[in-house]
Structure 1
Amino acid sequence: MSAHADKQPVVLLTGASGFVGRFLQKRLQGEPVTVRTLQRPQHDLLQAATLTAPCQGIDTVYHLAAYAHVNQAQVKSLYATNVDGTANLLQAAIAAGVRRFVYVSSILADPAYDQPRTAYGDAKQRAETLLQATHAAGHIEVVILRPVNVYGPGMKGNLMTLLRLIRKGLMPPLPRFTQTFSLIGVEDLCQALLLAASCPVGSSAPVYLLTDGEVYQIRALEQAMRQALGKTQPAWATPRAVFYLAALALELLGRLLPINNAPGLRSYHALARNYTVDSKASQRDLGYNPQSDFYRELPAIIADMNGRGHE
């Protein structure tokens, strides 16, 4: 297929089967573009030669595919996919004359939001550095998005773990954490991605921080989850030291067993530190206008969780 044959731009979406990718593909199908996706195993980010054909005739690449947080044994694979795989796709896009490369990074690419430093955050930063250098050299237009944690039906990560444990009655009340943090809805992220395909760029690749504009406290989210699930919020709170020791034990277990995304110290730090991100500049410059917040999306998230039969 080609852009000329279809008389409309052709875009390439990687990570189409992932949480955000599924939503973005649906949104793109409502736009005046033809959507092409990478199909495994014939298209492999680690096999550069397999990326040549998918990039032919492409106007915009939306690069969402990535290894997320993994256990210690899989760090090598994380760097290979998130750094080398991005480099391979970038080179294929340049060779094919692609106009723009939209990269979904993470707020964790900034070390200020990733303490202690994780392999995931470091790999995202390395990929960003490569992309920025390529943009500065004039080889291809690059736009980098740094969303905070993304929520929505089918989400993964710490909030989904918390929701599932509360539903099962296995989650003791959280400590009295008072820290605040930011989130973003998956539909809002998709809105920003579409805008990133056509926003103006200068000599430096723009980097947009993305949130839904709200400020959250984990205790308030916990209470909302319990209420939505028909669970009573206990009057007591788990002592912080006890919660930390439990997280430490899970961390050690995750290092010993091949458990992807095992909760542990990373989860503890995510809950126990300030994580508020100001995205007003991104909203102004990108023209992005968030429409959702976690509390309004919670019923749909729970309905999806129940429909998937998470146990």
Structure 2
Amino acid sequence: MSKKILVTGATGFLGGALIRSLCNLPGTLVVAPVRNMDGDFPEVVSKVYIPSIDSGTDWTESLSGVDVVVHAAARVHVVDEDSAQSLEEFRAINVQGTLNLARQAVQAGVRRFIFISTIKVNGETTPPGCAFLADDIPKPVGAYAISKYEAEQSLLKLASVGAIEVVIVRPVLIYGKGVGANFQKMMCLLERGVPLPFGAVSNSRSLVSLENVIDLIETCIDHPSAVNQVFLVSDDNDLSTTQLMRRLITYLGVETWLIPVPVGLLMFLTRLMGRRSIAQRLLGSLQVDISKNQQLLGWTPPVSLDDALSLTVQHFLDARRS
């Protein structure tokens, strides 16, 4: 039996890759809401023009005949995300926009709503050797995380009255082919042979490859035990910042000096420079326990961390050469 899936965030890192993967599933029809109808998608994808996502968006055409919604679109960054004004800007898209889509999905007879949230709903850091669980009490910090948590709660309220099935997925840092932002910057620095002061960092951080996130989402599309559940997702192989950089150096095939600067000194210097959030990501720990995925869904990451990192670096090098 065929199924029709609407994926928001179609031009994003995760949404675009998810659409390409779904197109390879037999009997699957994919709908992609887009702001630019000239976007590059497989021919089988049905594009629908949606200029913006907020409380007033009309999803009628997009939701016609849809069985499952995967909502990956979100407002993810503004310069001053902790201001009161910023929180309202996040809420306009991440809360009101999400709830508007979900309510219209209910009216359209959509069976399941998969919401791509963030690990930041659990919190920013974990003590060494400890890990977040999917059912921990959330402790979101910052406007973005708060807005995603509020969206989760709104969706679960809809689910609690049987209006629609909801699945919430909270990924950690996603990397993979075409990754940008800080992960790409790290690879650029390492490729150029820039000495970096991260040779003695013993933290533990969970990462997740694009392939593994997509595989979990595809599992949640039909799995009966996914209904109204929250899942964390990682590669289930945590690394320190030093270990990650050394692996990347190996796959890049370069020689780069990682200077063993004491972590306490690094923390002091980065805070002095006003880069506390960067220090937290590079020096602090953030681990997740994904055992719930195995217990409820029989799911474990199909792609190993080393294979995924190798593919990520190869794609990065190929793009640089071309």
Matches within 5 A, 1:273-288: 273-288=284-299
Counterpart of 2:42 in structure 1 is none
Deviations 1:71-107 (A, max 9, x none): 2166554332222221121121112111110111111
Measure the CA separation in 2 of the matches of 1:250 and 1:65: 32
Measure the CA separation in 1 of the matches of 2:217 and 2:261: 40
Counterpart of 2:103 in structure 1 is 91
Change beyond 3 A, Cα 1:212–1:26: same
Structure 2 counterpart of 1:267, from 270, 278, 288:
278
Q: 5+ residue gaps in structure 1?
A: 1-6, 252-263
Does the 8 Å CA contact 1:151/1:184 hold for their aligned counterparts?
A: yes
Matched, 1:200 2:200: no
Q: TM-score, normalised by structure 1?
A: 0.84
Counterpart of 1:178 in structure 2 is 202
Code of the aligned partner of 1:37? A
Counterpart of 2:304 in structure 1 is 293
Q: CA deviation at 1:157?
A: 4.2
Change beyond 3 A, Cα 1:9–1:266: same
Measure the CA separation in 2 of the matches of 1:116 and 1:129: 13
283-292 or 166-175, which deviates more: 166-175
Counterpart of 2:72 in structure 1 is 64
Deviations 1:27-46 (A, max 9, x none): 11112211001121641212
Measure the CA separation in 2 of the matches of 1:269 and 1:112: 8
**Alignment length (residue pairs):** 291
Does the 8 Å CA contact 1:211/1:279 hold for their aligned counterparts?
A: yes
SS of the equivalent of 1:222 reads: helix
Q: 5+ residue gaps in structure 2?
A: 37-48, 127-138
Measure the CA separation in 2 of the matches of 1:279 and 1:47: 33
Change beyond 3 A, Cα 1:278–1:48: same
Change beyond 3 A, Cα 1:81–1:116: closer
Matches within 5 A, 1:81-160: 81-111=93-123, 113=125, 117-160=141-184
Structure 1 counterpart of 2:4, from 10, 13, 23:
10
Change beyond 3 A, Cα 1:297–1:101: same
Structure 1 counterpart of 2:244, from 196, 221, 227:
221
Code of the aligned partner of 1:191? D
The CA RMSD over aligned residues, in Å, is: 2.6
Measure the CA separation in 2 of the matches of 1:269 and 1:53: 43
Measure the CA separation in 2 of the matches of 1:60 and 1:121: 24
Matched, 1:24 2:47: no
Counterpart of 1:256 in structure 2 is none
Measure the CA separation in 1 of the matches of 2:156 and 2:104: 16
Q: CA deviation at 1:241?
A: 5.0
132-141 or 108-117, which deviates more: 108-117
Change beyond 3 A, Cα 1:85–1:113: farther
Measure the CA separation in 2 of the matches of 1:198 and 1:235: 45
Deviations 1:199-230 (A, max 9, x none): 2258x721111112212121111112223223
Does the 8 Å CA contact 2:293/2:300 hold for their aligned counterparts?
A: no
Measure the CA separation in 2 of the matches of 1:144 and 1:237: 39
Structure number with higher helix proportion? 1
Q: TM-score, normalised by structure 2?
A: 0.81
Q: CA deviation at 1:116?
A: 8.3
Code of the aligned partner of 2:108? A
Measure the CA separation in 2 of the matches of 1:116 and 1:142: 20
SS of the equivalent of 1:181 reads: coil
Counterpart of 1:4 in structure 2 is none
